[in-house]
Chain A
Amino acid sequence: MAFEEWNGELARELRAGLPGTELEFAEYLGQHRVAAQADNVPALIAYLKNACGFDFLVDLTAVDYPQRAARFELVYTLYSFARNERVRVSTQVAAHAASLTTIFAGADWLEREVFDMFGVVFTGHPDLKRILLPEDWEGHPLRKEYPIAQPDEAWIAANLEML
Protein backbone atom coordinates (compact mmCIF):
# COMPACT_ATOMS: atom_id res chain seq x y z
CA MET A 1 0.00 0.00 0.00
CA ALA A 2 1.30 3.40 -0.87
CA PHE A 3 0.29 7.02 -0.61
CA GLU A 4 -2.77 7.73 -2.69
CA GLU A 5 -4.19 10.87 -4.19
CA TRP A 6 -6.55 12.48 -1.69
CA ASN A 7 -9.56 14.35 -2.98
CA GLY A 8 -11.72 14.72 0.12
CA GLU A 9 -13.84 17.63 1.23
CA LEU A 10 -10.97 19.51 2.84
CA ALA A 11 -8.74 18.99 -0.19
CA ARG A 12 -11.41 20.53 -2.42
CA GLU A 13 -11.87 23.42 0.01
CA LEU A 14 -8.16 24.17 -0.04
CA ARG A 15 -7.93 23.96 -3.81
CA ALA A 16 -10.80 26.41 -4.14
CA GLY A 17 -9.61 28.73 -1.37
CA LEU A 18 -5.94 28.91 -2.39
CA PRO A 19 -6.09 28.75 -6.17
CA GLY A 20 -2.59 30.01 -6.98
CA THR A 21 -0.81 27.78 -4.48
CA GLU A 22 0.82 24.55 -5.50
CA LEU A 23 -0.47 21.86 -3.15
CA GLU A 24 -0.11 18.11 -3.19
CA PHE A 25 -2.76 16.02 -1.47
CA ALA A 26 -1.99 12.54 -0.26
CA GLU A 27 -3.79 9.90 1.76
CA TYR A 28 -2.25 6.98 3.62
CA LEU A 29 -4.12 4.57 5.91
CA GLY A 30 -7.00 7.02 6.06
CA GLN A 31 -4.82 9.92 7.20
CA HIS A 32 -4.42 13.07 5.15
CA ARG A 33 -1.44 15.14 4.20
CA VAL A 34 -1.01 18.37 2.29
CA ALA A 35 2.45 19.09 0.94
CA ALA A 36 3.31 22.69 0.12
CA GLN A 37 6.28 24.87 -0.78
CA ALA A 38 7.92 26.26 2.34
CA ASP A 39 7.07 29.85 1.36
CA ASN A 40 3.38 29.00 1.21
CA VAL A 41 3.15 27.19 4.55
CA PRO A 42 2.29 30.17 6.79
CA ALA A 43 -0.51 31.24 4.44
CA LEU A 44 -1.77 27.66 4.14
CA ILE A 45 -1.83 27.12 7.89
CA ALA A 46 -3.43 30.50 8.52
CA TYR A 47 -6.08 29.60 5.96
CA LEU A 48 -6.64 26.21 7.59
CA LYS A 49 -7.01 27.93 10.94
CA ASN A 50 -9.20 30.84 9.96
CA ALA A 51 -11.31 29.52 7.11
CA CYS A 52 -11.44 25.75 7.68
CA GLY A 53 -11.67 25.56 11.47
CA PHE A 54 -8.32 23.87 12.14
CA ASP A 55 -7.76 25.88 15.29
CA PHE A 56 -5.40 23.52 17.10
CA LEU A 57 -1.74 22.90 16.34
CA VAL A 58 -1.30 19.38 17.66
CA ASP A 59 2.34 18.92 16.84
CA LEU A 60 5.28 20.14 14.81
CA THR A 61 8.25 17.98 14.07
CA ALA A 62 10.85 17.28 11.41
CA VAL A 63 12.24 14.30 9.56
CA ASP A 64 15.79 14.37 8.24
CA TYR A 65 16.55 13.13 4.71
CA PRO A 66 20.27 13.95 4.27
CA GLN A 67 20.32 12.86 0.61
CA ARG A 68 17.83 15.58 -0.39
CA ALA A 69 18.88 19.13 -1.22
CA ALA A 70 16.24 20.51 1.14
CA ARG A 71 16.96 17.85 3.72
CA PHE A 72 14.42 18.59 6.45
CA GLU A 73 10.79 17.71 6.09
CA LEU A 74 8.73 19.75 8.53
CA VAL A 75 5.47 18.10 9.55
CA TYR A 76 2.69 20.15 11.12
CA THR A 77 -0.26 18.25 12.54
CA LEU A 78 -3.45 20.26 12.85
CA TYR A 79 -6.78 19.38 14.39
CA SER A 80 -10.24 20.86 14.08
CA PHE A 81 -12.53 20.54 17.07
CA ALA A 82 -15.57 21.48 14.98
CA ARG A 83 -14.90 18.87 12.27
CA ASN A 84 -13.14 16.33 14.53
CA GLU A 85 -10.56 15.92 11.80
CA ARG A 86 -6.79 15.90 11.58
CA VAL A 87 -4.59 16.98 8.74
CA ARG A 88 -0.84 17.08 8.30
CA VAL A 89 0.97 19.82 6.44
CA SER A 90 4.43 18.96 5.22
CA THR A 91 7.15 20.94 3.53
CA GLN A 92 10.82 20.61 2.64
CA VAL A 93 13.37 23.10 3.91
CA ALA A 94 17.16 23.33 3.71
CA ALA A 95 17.94 25.17 6.93
CA HIS A 96 15.41 27.97 7.45
CA ALA A 97 11.66 28.15 7.88
CA ALA A 98 9.19 30.84 8.83
CA SER A 99 8.03 30.78 12.44
CA LEU A 100 4.34 30.17 13.05
CA THR A 101 4.34 31.65 16.55
CA THR A 102 2.13 34.53 15.38
CA ILE A 103 -0.51 32.06 14.18
CA PHE A 104 -0.25 29.55 17.04
CA ALA A 105 1.43 30.64 20.27
CA GLY A 106 1.94 26.95 21.02
CA ALA A 107 4.43 26.69 18.14
CA ASP A 108 6.98 28.41 20.40
CA TRP A 109 8.39 25.37 22.21
CA LEU A 110 7.77 23.03 19.30
CA GLU A 111 9.91 25.18 17.01
CA ARG A 112 12.58 25.45 19.67
CA GLU A 113 12.68 21.66 19.90
CA VAL A 114 13.04 21.28 16.12
CA PHE A 115 15.82 23.89 16.22
CA ASP A 116 17.51 22.03 19.08
CA MET A 117 17.26 18.58 17.55
CA PHE A 118 17.66 19.36 13.82
CA GLY A 119 19.15 22.84 13.61
CA VAL A 120 16.33 24.31 11.54
CA VAL A 121 16.24 28.07 12.13
CA PHE A 122 12.78 29.57 12.42
CA THR A 123 12.87 33.18 11.31
CA GLY A 124 10.57 35.43 13.29
CA HIS A 125 10.62 33.25 16.41
CA PRO A 126 10.72 35.52 19.49
CA ASP A 127 13.32 33.55 21.45
CA LEU A 128 14.88 30.79 19.40
CA LYS A 129 17.27 28.81 21.58
CA ARG A 130 17.86 25.24 22.64
CA ILE A 131 15.17 23.75 24.83
CA LEU A 132 16.09 20.19 25.83
CA LEU A 133 19.86 20.27 25.50
CA PRO A 134 22.26 22.61 27.32
CA GLU A 135 22.96 25.93 25.62
CA ASP A 136 26.59 25.05 24.91
CA TRP A 137 25.78 21.72 23.31
CA GLU A 138 27.27 21.15 19.88
CA GLY A 139 25.42 19.48 17.05
CA HIS A 140 21.83 18.45 16.51
CA PRO A 141 21.18 14.89 17.67
CA LEU A 142 18.24 13.94 15.45
CA ARG A 143 20.21 14.59 12.28
CA LYS A 144 20.97 11.27 10.67
CA GLU A 145 24.76 11.74 10.66
CA TYR A 146 24.77 12.27 14.44
CA PRO A 147 25.83 8.96 16.01
CA ILE A 148 23.71 7.50 18.78
CA ALA A 149 26.69 6.88 21.05
CA GLN A 150 29.88 8.86 20.93
CA PRO A 151 32.27 9.84 23.69
CA ASP A 152 32.40 13.57 24.36
CA GLU A 153 36.14 13.97 23.68
CA ALA A 154 36.23 17.66 24.53
CA TRP A 155 34.57 17.11 27.89
CA ILE A 156 36.86 14.20 28.70
CA ALA A 157 39.93 16.29 27.82
CA ALA A 158 38.74 19.17 29.96
CA ASN A 159 37.66 17.16 33.00
CA LEU A 160 39.48 13.86 33.00
CA GLU A 161 42.94 14.86 31.82
CA MET A 162 44.70 12.70 34.39
CA LEU A 163 43.35 9.63 32.60
Chain B
Amino acid sequence: MTGTESPLDSSELILNMGPQHPSTHGVLRIILKLDGERVKSAECVIGYLHRGVEKIGENRTYGQFAPYVDRMDYVAAVSNGLGYCLAVEKLIGVEAPPRAQVVRVILVELNRIASHLLWLGTHALDLGAQTALFYTFREREELLKIFENYCGARLTTHAFRIGGLYYELYEGFEEQVSAFCESFLPHLDEYDDLLTGNPIWRGRLRDVGILTAADCKELGVTGPLLRASGVEWDLRKAQPYSGYEQYEFKVPTGARGDSWDRYQVRIAELRESVAIIRQAVRAIPLGPGMAKVPKVLKPAVGEVYVSTEAPKGELGYFIVSDGTVQPYRVRVRPPSFLNLQALPRMVKGASVADVIAVIGTLDIVLGEVDR
Protein backbone atom coordinates (compact mmCIF):
# COMPACT_ATOMS: atom_id res chain seq x y z
CA MET B 1 0.00 0.00 0.00
CA THR B 2 1.37 3.41 -0.95
CA GLY B 3 0.89 6.52 1.12
CA THR B 4 -1.50 8.18 -1.33
CA GLU B 5 -4.14 5.42 -1.08
CA SER B 6 -6.68 5.56 1.64
CA PRO B 7 -6.05 2.88 4.27
CA LEU B 8 -9.79 2.18 4.07
CA ASP B 9 -10.01 1.75 0.32
CA SER B 10 -13.49 0.56 -0.61
CA SER B 11 -13.05 -1.39 -3.78
CA GLU B 12 -15.54 -3.88 -5.17
CA LEU B 13 -15.38 -7.25 -3.49
CA ILE B 14 -16.02 -10.46 -5.33
CA LEU B 15 -17.50 -13.12 -3.09
CA ASN B 16 -17.88 -16.71 -4.13
CA MET B 17 -20.95 -18.24 -2.54
CA GLY B 18 -21.08 -22.00 -2.92
CA PRO B 19 -20.95 -24.52 -4.51
CA GLN B 20 -20.35 -26.17 -1.14
CA HIS B 21 -22.56 -24.00 0.98
CA PRO B 22 -25.54 -25.44 2.86
CA SER B 23 -27.84 -22.51 2.11
CA THR B 24 -27.43 -22.81 -1.65
CA HIS B 25 -29.59 -25.96 -1.51
CA GLY B 26 -27.20 -28.15 -3.37
CA VAL B 27 -24.31 -27.31 -5.61
CA LEU B 28 -25.15 -23.81 -6.73
CA ARG B 29 -22.35 -21.32 -7.04
CA ILE B 30 -23.06 -17.61 -7.08
CA ILE B 31 -20.43 -15.02 -7.88
CA LEU B 32 -21.45 -11.92 -5.98
CA LYS B 33 -19.99 -8.51 -6.68
CA LEU B 34 -20.33 -6.54 -3.49
CA ASP B 35 -20.11 -2.94 -2.46
CA GLY B 36 -19.84 -3.42 1.27
CA GLU B 37 -22.89 -5.46 2.23
CA ARG B 38 -24.78 -4.56 -0.95
CA VAL B 39 -24.97 -6.84 -3.96
CA LYS B 40 -24.05 -4.98 -7.14
CA SER B 41 -24.47 -7.98 -9.37
CA ALA B 42 -24.76 -11.72 -9.12
CA GLU B 43 -23.93 -14.50 -11.54
CA CYS B 44 -25.07 -18.09 -11.14
CA VAL B 45 -22.70 -20.88 -12.05
CA ILE B 46 -24.49 -24.18 -12.48
CA GLY B 47 -23.91 -27.60 -13.97
CA TYR B 48 -22.11 -29.34 -11.11
CA LEU B 49 -24.83 -31.98 -11.05
CA HIS B 50 -25.16 -32.42 -14.80
CA ARG B 51 -25.68 -36.07 -15.69
CA GLY B 52 -26.80 -35.78 -19.29
CA VAL B 53 -30.37 -36.89 -18.62
CA GLU B 54 -31.55 -35.82 -22.08
CA LYS B 55 -28.72 -37.73 -23.77
CA ILE B 56 -29.58 -40.82 -21.73
CA GLY B 57 -33.18 -40.45 -22.91
CA GLU B 58 -32.10 -40.78 -26.54
CA ASN B 59 -30.35 -44.06 -25.73
CA ARG B 60 -33.10 -45.82 -23.80
CA THR B 61 -36.53 -47.10 -24.77
CA TYR B 62 -39.54 -45.05 -23.70
CA GLY B 63 -40.17 -47.32 -20.74
CA GLN B 64 -36.53 -47.55 -19.69
CA PHE B 65 -36.17 -43.78 -19.48
CA ALA B 66 -39.08 -43.34 -17.04
CA PRO B 67 -37.10 -44.03 -13.82
CA TYR B 68 -34.44 -41.51 -14.85
CA VAL B 69 -36.82 -38.56 -14.67
CA ASP B 70 -37.24 -39.19 -10.92
CA ARG B 71 -33.61 -38.18 -10.47
CA MET B 72 -34.15 -34.62 -11.67
CA ASP B 73 -36.36 -33.01 -9.05
CA TYR B 74 -35.72 -35.78 -6.57
CA VAL B 75 -37.89 -34.29 -3.85
CA ALA B 76 -40.85 -34.36 -6.24
CA ALA B 77 -40.13 -37.56 -8.13
CA VAL B 78 -43.80 -38.47 -8.47
CA SER B 79 -44.53 -35.21 -10.31
CA ASN B 80 -41.63 -35.77 -12.69
CA GLY B 81 -42.89 -39.24 -13.44
CA LEU B 82 -46.44 -38.07 -14.08
CA GLY B 83 -45.29 -35.45 -16.60
CA TYR B 84 -43.23 -37.97 -18.50
CA CYS B 85 -45.96 -40.61 -18.53
CA LEU B 86 -48.53 -38.09 -19.77
CA ALA B 87 -46.19 -36.96 -22.55
CA VAL B 88 -45.55 -40.50 -23.80
CA GLU B 89 -49.22 -41.41 -23.42
CA LYS B 90 -50.14 -38.46 -25.61
CA LEU B 91 -47.58 -39.54 -28.18
CA ILE B 92 -48.93 -43.09 -28.38
CA GLY B 93 -52.58 -42.09 -28.07
CA VAL B 94 -53.31 -43.84 -24.79
CA GLU B 95 -55.22 -42.44 -21.83
CA ALA B 96 -54.79 -43.77 -18.33
CA PRO B 97 -57.98 -45.36 -16.92
CA PRO B 98 -60.10 -43.29 -14.48
CA ARG B 99 -58.80 -45.18 -11.44
CA ALA B 100 -55.22 -44.45 -12.39
CA GLN B 101 -55.99 -40.77 -12.96
CA VAL B 102 -57.43 -40.32 -9.49
CA VAL B 103 -54.65 -42.25 -7.77
CA ARG B 104 -52.10 -40.24 -9.73
CA VAL B 105 -53.65 -36.99 -8.52
CA ILE B 106 -53.56 -38.18 -4.90
CA LEU B 107 -49.91 -39.21 -5.07
CA VAL B 108 -48.84 -36.11 -6.96
CA GLU B 109 -50.54 -33.84 -4.45
CA LEU B 110 -49.02 -35.76 -1.54
CA ASN B 111 -45.69 -35.24 -3.27
CA ARG B 112 -46.39 -31.54 -3.67
CA ILE B 113 -46.92 -31.34 0.08
CA ALA B 114 -43.68 -33.26 0.68
CA SER B 115 -41.80 -30.91 -1.65
CA HIS B 116 -43.24 -27.78 -0.05
CA LEU B 117 -42.48 -29.16 3.43
CA LEU B 118 -38.86 -29.73 2.52
CA TRP B 119 -38.73 -26.21 1.12
CA LEU B 120 -40.30 -24.70 4.25
CA GLY B 121 -38.06 -26.54 6.69
CA THR B 122 -34.80 -25.77 4.91
CA HIS B 123 -35.80 -22.22 4.09
CA ALA B 124 -36.57 -21.49 7.73
CA LEU B 125 -33.35 -23.20 8.76
CA ASP B 126 -31.37 -20.96 6.40
CA LEU B 127 -32.84 -17.91 8.07
CA GLY B 128 -32.07 -19.14 11.57
CA ALA B 129 -35.46 -20.56 12.54
CA GLN B 130 -34.26 -24.06 13.25
CA THR B 131 -37.36 -25.46 14.90
CA ALA B 132 -39.54 -25.56 11.80
CA LEU B 133 -37.33 -28.16 10.14
CA PHE B 134 -38.07 -30.76 12.79
CA TYR B 135 -41.80 -30.22 12.45
CA THR B 136 -41.88 -30.28 8.65
CA PHE B 137 -39.73 -33.40 8.48
CA ARG B 138 -42.01 -35.11 10.98
CA GLU B 139 -44.94 -34.62 8.59
CA ARG B 140 -42.88 -35.41 5.52
CA GLU B 141 -41.94 -38.72 7.08
CA GLU B 142 -45.61 -39.74 7.09
CA LEU B 143 -45.80 -38.97 3.39
CA LEU B 144 -42.67 -40.94 2.60
CA LYS B 145 -44.15 -43.88 4.49
CA ILE B 146 -47.20 -43.73 2.23
CA PHE B 147 -44.95 -43.76 -0.84
CA GLU B 148 -42.94 -46.62 0.61
CA ASN B 149 -46.05 -48.65 1.33
CA TYR B 150 -47.33 -47.97 -2.17
CA CYS B 151 -44.26 -48.68 -4.27
CA GLY B 152 -41.39 -49.61 -1.98
CA ALA B 153 -39.39 -46.43 -2.47
CA ARG B 154 -39.42 -43.24 -0.47
CA LEU B 155 -37.72 -40.74 -2.73
CA THR B 156 -37.17 -41.85 -6.32
CA THR B 157 -40.44 -43.67 -6.48
CA HIS B 158 -41.08 -44.47 -10.16
CA ALA B 159 -44.67 -44.69 -8.97
CA PHE B 160 -46.39 -44.65 -12.38
CA ARG B 161 -45.97 -46.44 -15.66
CA ILE B 162 -46.80 -45.38 -19.18
CA GLY B 163 -50.50 -46.18 -19.42
CA GLY B 164 -51.44 -46.01 -15.76
CA LEU B 165 -50.37 -47.61 -12.50
CA TYR B 166 -48.09 -50.56 -12.03
CA TYR B 167 -49.00 -51.13 -8.40
CA GLU B 168 -52.44 -51.72 -6.96
CA LEU B 169 -53.28 -49.68 -3.88
CA TYR B 170 -52.32 -51.37 -0.66
CA GLU B 171 -54.76 -52.32 2.07
CA GLY B 172 -55.49 -49.25 4.15
CA PHE B 173 -54.20 -46.67 1.63
CA GLU B 174 -57.32 -44.51 1.80
CA GLU B 175 -57.32 -44.58 5.61
CA GLN B 176 -53.66 -43.65 5.84
CA VAL B 177 -54.05 -40.77 3.38
CA SER B 178 -57.19 -39.51 5.13
CA ALA B 179 -55.48 -39.73 8.51
CA PHE B 180 -52.59 -37.70 7.16
CA CYS B 181 -54.94 -34.99 5.87
CA GLU B 182 -56.72 -34.97 9.23
CA SER B 183 -53.53 -34.44 11.19
CA PHE B 184 -51.82 -32.15 8.72
CA LEU B 185 -54.10 -29.13 8.87
CA PRO B 186 -53.53 -28.57 12.62
CA HIS B 187 -49.81 -28.93 11.93
CA LEU B 188 -50.06 -26.16 9.35
CA ASP B 189 -51.47 -23.94 12.08
CA GLU B 190 -48.41 -24.81 14.17
CA TYR B 191 -46.17 -23.50 11.40
CA ASP B 192 -48.21 -20.33 11.42
CA ASP B 193 -47.55 -20.01 15.14
CA LEU B 194 -43.85 -20.65 14.64
CA LEU B 195 -43.26 -18.44 11.62
CA THR B 196 -46.10 -16.31 10.29
CA GLY B 197 -46.57 -14.26 13.42
CA ASN B 198 -42.86 -14.03 14.09
CA PRO B 199 -41.62 -10.47 13.52
CA ILE B 200 -38.10 -11.63 12.68
CA TRP B 201 -39.42 -14.03 10.06
CA ARG B 202 -41.60 -11.30 8.61
CA GLY B 203 -38.73 -8.84 8.65
CA ARG B 204 -36.46 -11.22 6.77
CA LEU B 205 -39.00 -11.80 3.99
CA ARG B 206 -41.04 -8.64 3.54
CA ASP B 207 -40.00 -6.66 0.44
CA VAL B 208 -37.03 -8.95 -0.11
CA GLY B 209 -36.34 -10.21 -3.61
CA ILE B 210 -39.26 -8.59 -5.38
CA LEU B 211 -40.19 -10.10 -8.72
CA THR B 212 -43.00 -8.42 -10.66
CA ALA B 213 -45.43 -10.21 -12.92
CA ALA B 214 -43.75 -8.58 -15.94
CA ASP B 215 -40.34 -9.88 -14.80
CA CYS B 216 -41.76 -13.38 -14.43
CA LYS B 217 -43.22 -13.43 -17.93
CA GLU B 218 -40.07 -12.03 -19.45
CA LEU B 219 -37.80 -14.53 -17.71
CA GLY B 220 -39.94 -17.63 -18.05
CA VAL B 221 -40.66 -17.91 -14.32
CA THR B 222 -43.57 -20.17 -13.38
CA GLY B 223 -45.11 -21.87 -10.37
CA PRO B 224 -45.50 -20.33 -6.93
CA LEU B 225 -43.13 -17.48 -7.91
CA LEU B 226 -45.41 -16.39 -10.73
CA ARG B 227 -48.48 -16.71 -8.54
CA ALA B 228 -46.86 -14.72 -5.75
CA SER B 229 -46.43 -11.92 -8.27
CA GLY B 230 -50.18 -11.75 -8.66
CA VAL B 231 -50.74 -13.90 -11.75
CA GLU B 232 -53.51 -16.38 -11.08
CA TRP B 233 -52.13 -19.09 -13.31
CA ASP B 234 -51.82 -22.75 -12.57
CA LEU B 235 -51.62 -25.43 -15.24
CA ARG B 236 -53.95 -27.61 -13.19
CA LYS B 237 -56.62 -24.97 -13.87
CA ALA B 238 -55.47 -23.47 -17.17
CA GLN B 239 -54.94 -26.75 -19.01
CA PRO B 240 -56.19 -29.52 -16.71
CA TYR B 241 -54.69 -32.99 -17.00
CA SER B 242 -55.32 -36.28 -15.22
CA GLY B 243 -58.82 -35.13 -14.28
CA TYR B 244 -57.92 -32.01 -12.29
CA GLU B 245 -61.03 -30.28 -13.65
CA GLN B 246 -63.13 -32.48 -11.31
CA TYR B 247 -61.69 -31.04 -8.13
CA GLU B 248 -62.51 -27.81 -6.44
CA PHE B 249 -59.52 -25.83 -5.33
CA LYS B 250 -58.31 -22.25 -5.31
CA VAL B 251 -55.19 -20.83 -6.89
CA PRO B 252 -53.57 -18.70 -4.17
CA THR B 253 -51.84 -15.54 -5.33
CA GLY B 254 -49.77 -12.80 -3.80
CA ALA B 255 -49.67 -9.10 -4.58
CA ARG B 256 -46.15 -7.77 -4.19
CA GLY B 257 -44.08 -10.68 -5.46
CA ASP B 258 -41.68 -10.52 -2.51
CA SER B 259 -40.35 -13.42 -0.49
CA TRP B 260 -43.17 -13.04 2.02
CA ASP B 261 -45.79 -13.52 -0.70
CA ARG B 262 -43.98 -16.58 -1.98
CA TYR B 263 -44.01 -18.00 1.54
CA GLN B 264 -47.73 -17.29 1.93
CA VAL B 265 -48.58 -18.71 -1.50
CA ARG B 266 -46.83 -22.00 -0.79
CA ILE B 267 -48.45 -22.32 2.63
CA ALA B 268 -51.84 -21.69 1.02
CA GLU B 269 -51.03 -24.27 -1.65
CA LEU B 270 -50.46 -26.85 1.06
CA ARG B 271 -54.06 -26.33 2.22
CA GLU B 272 -55.36 -26.56 -1.35
CA SER B 273 -53.45 -29.80 -1.92
CA VAL B 274 -55.11 -31.27 1.17
CA ALA B 275 -58.48 -30.17 -0.23
CA ILE B 276 -57.77 -31.93 -3.54
CA ILE B 277 -56.59 -35.11 -1.84
CA ARG B 278 -59.68 -35.23 0.37
CA GLN B 279 -61.94 -34.98 -2.67
CA ALA B 280 -59.94 -37.54 -4.62
CA VAL B 281 -59.57 -40.14 -1.91
CA ARG B 282 -63.36 -40.32 -1.51
CA ALA B 283 -63.82 -40.91 -5.22
CA ILE B 284 -61.30 -43.55 -6.27
CA PRO B 285 -63.19 -45.46 -8.96
CA LEU B 286 -62.93 -49.21 -9.27
CA GLY B 287 -61.54 -50.69 -12.42
CA PRO B 288 -58.23 -51.43 -14.05
CA GLY B 289 -55.13 -49.42 -13.17
CA MET B 290 -53.46 -49.90 -16.54
CA ALA B 291 -54.64 -49.06 -20.02
CA LYS B 292 -53.83 -51.40 -22.88
CA VAL B 293 -50.31 -50.48 -23.85
CA PRO B 294 -48.25 -52.43 -26.38
CA LYS B 295 -45.26 -54.28 -24.95
CA VAL B 296 -42.96 -52.52 -27.39
CA LEU B 297 -43.62 -48.81 -27.69
CA LYS B 298 -43.00 -47.46 -31.17
CA PRO B 299 -44.78 -44.11 -31.46
CA ALA B 300 -45.43 -42.80 -34.96
CA VAL B 301 -43.11 -40.10 -36.30
CA GLY B 302 -44.07 -36.88 -34.58
CA GLU B 303 -43.51 -34.60 -31.62
CA VAL B 304 -45.38 -33.49 -28.52
CA TYR B 305 -44.90 -30.98 -25.74
CA VAL B 306 -46.76 -31.86 -22.56
CA SER B 307 -46.42 -29.93 -19.35
CA THR B 308 -47.74 -30.25 -15.84
CA GLU B 309 -47.81 -28.07 -12.76
CA ALA B 310 -44.95 -29.53 -10.74
CA PRO B 311 -44.34 -28.16 -7.21
CA LYS B 312 -41.70 -25.82 -8.65
CA GLY B 313 -43.59 -24.66 -11.72
CA GLU B 314 -44.19 -25.71 -15.30
CA LEU B 315 -42.43 -28.99 -15.95
CA GLY B 316 -42.55 -29.78 -19.65
CA TYR B 317 -41.45 -32.71 -21.77
CA PHE B 318 -40.84 -32.21 -25.47
CA ILE B 319 -40.46 -35.60 -27.14
CA VAL B 320 -39.61 -36.19 -30.79
CA SER B 321 -40.27 -39.66 -32.14
CA ASP B 322 -38.66 -41.05 -35.29
CA GLY B 323 -40.81 -44.15 -35.21
CA THR B 324 -38.29 -46.35 -33.38
CA VAL B 325 -38.34 -47.76 -29.85
CA GLN B 326 -36.13 -44.96 -28.54
CA PRO B 327 -37.08 -41.28 -28.49
CA TYR B 328 -35.17 -39.27 -31.09
CA ARG B 329 -35.03 -36.39 -28.66
CA VAL B 330 -36.29 -35.84 -25.13
CA ARG B 331 -36.19 -32.30 -23.89
CA VAL B 332 -37.08 -31.49 -20.31
CA ARG B 333 -38.27 -27.99 -19.58
CA PRO B 334 -37.16 -27.69 -15.97
CA PRO B 335 -38.97 -25.11 -13.86
CA SER B 336 -36.05 -24.72 -11.43
CA PHE B 337 -33.65 -23.83 -14.26
CA LEU B 338 -35.79 -20.98 -15.55
CA ASN B 339 -36.79 -19.80 -12.08
CA LEU B 340 -33.16 -19.63 -11.01
CA GLN B 341 -32.44 -17.36 -13.96
CA ALA B 342 -34.38 -14.65 -12.13
CA LEU B 343 -32.02 -14.69 -9.13
CA PRO B 344 -29.59 -11.96 -10.31
CA ARG B 345 -32.50 -9.61 -10.90
CA MET B 346 -34.03 -10.39 -7.50
CA VAL B 347 -30.91 -9.82 -5.42
CA LYS B 348 -29.56 -6.70 -7.11
CA GLY B 349 -29.18 -4.06 -4.42
CA ALA B 350 -30.00 -6.48 -1.61
CA SER B 351 -27.70 -7.43 1.23
CA VAL B 352 -25.78 -10.70 1.35
CA ALA B 353 -28.12 -12.09 3.99
CA ASP B 354 -31.06 -11.39 1.70
CA VAL B 355 -29.48 -13.54 -1.00
CA ILE B 356 -29.95 -16.52 1.32
CA ALA B 357 -33.59 -15.61 1.83
CA VAL B 358 -34.14 -15.27 -1.92
CA ILE B 359 -32.50 -18.60 -2.75
CA GLY B 360 -34.77 -20.13 -0.13
CA THR B 361 -37.97 -18.72 -1.62
CA LEU B 362 -36.93 -19.68 -5.15
CA ASP B 363 -37.26 -23.30 -4.07
CA ILE B 364 -34.85 -24.79 -6.57
CA VAL B 365 -33.52 -28.31 -6.75
CA LEU B 366 -30.13 -28.45 -8.40
CA GLY B 367 -30.75 -31.96 -9.67
CA GLU B 368 -33.40 -30.44 -11.88
CA VAL B 369 -31.46 -27.30 -12.78
CA ASP B 370 -28.48 -29.29 -14.02
CA ARG B 371 -30.22 -32.53 -15.11
Contacts and interface: CB of A to CB of B under 8 A. Distances in A.
A29 B303 CA distance: 9
A29 B331 contact: no
B255 interface: no
A33 B305 CA distance: 11
Contacts of A84: 238-239
Contacts of A154: none
B337 A109 contact: yes
Interface stretch (A6-14, A16-24, A126-134): A126-134
B47 A133 contact: yes
Interface string A88-128: 10000000000000001110111000000100000000000
A57 B50 contact: no
Interface in B205-244: 217-221, 231, 233, 238-239
Contact of A28 (B231, B304, B341): B304
Nearest to A81: B233
A28 B371 CA distance: 28
B370 A59 contact: no
Interface stretch (B146-154, B270-278, B312-320): B312-320
B302 A108 contact: no
B29 to A, nearest CB: 12
Contacts of A105: 218-219
A47 B337 CA distance: 26
A28 B305 CA distance: 11
B220 A63 contact: no
Interface size class of B (residues with CB under 8 A): 35 or more
Interface in B296-351: 300-305, 307, 314, 316, 318, 320, 328-329, 331, 333, 337-338, 341
Contacts of B359: none
Given A84-B239, A86-B305, A134-B47, A59 B316 contact: yes
B90 interface: yes
A58 B47 contact: no
A157 interface: no
A63 B316 contact: no
B328 A29 contact: no
Contacts of B238: 84
A42 interface: no
Contacts of B127: none
Contacts of B300: 1-2
Contacts of A77: 305, 316, 318, 333
A116 to B, nearest CB: 8
Given A28-B304, A77-B318, A104-B220, A131 B47 contact: yes
A135 B335 CA distance: 24
Contacts of B352: none
Contacts of B220: 56-59, 104, 106, 110
Nearest to B52: A141
B305 A132 contact: no
A88 B305 contact: yes
Contacts of A110: 220, 338
Interface in B52-67: 52, 54-56, 58-59
A106 B218 contact: yes
A4 to B, nearest CB: 11
A131 B340 CA distance: 13
A132 B46 contact: yes
A108 B305 contact: no
A1 B316 contact: no
Contacts of A108: 341
Given A31-B303, A55-B217, A58-B305, 11 more contacts: A1-B93, A59-B318, A63-B328, A77-B305, A77-B333, A81-B217, A104-B220, A109-B341, A130-B47, A131-B46, A132-B370
10 contacts: A2-B301, A31-B305, A58-B307, A61-B331, A77-B333, A81-B233, A109-B338, A117-B54, A130-B47, A131-B46
In the A-B complex, the 8 residue pairs with the closest CB atoms: A106-B220, A132-B47, A106-B219, A61-B331, A59-B333, A132-B50, A63-B329, A105-B218
Interface of B: 46-47, 50, 52, 54-56, 58-59, 90-91, 93, 217-221, 231, 233, 238-239, 300-305, 307, 314, 316, 318, 320, 328-329, 331, 333, 337-338, 341, 370-371
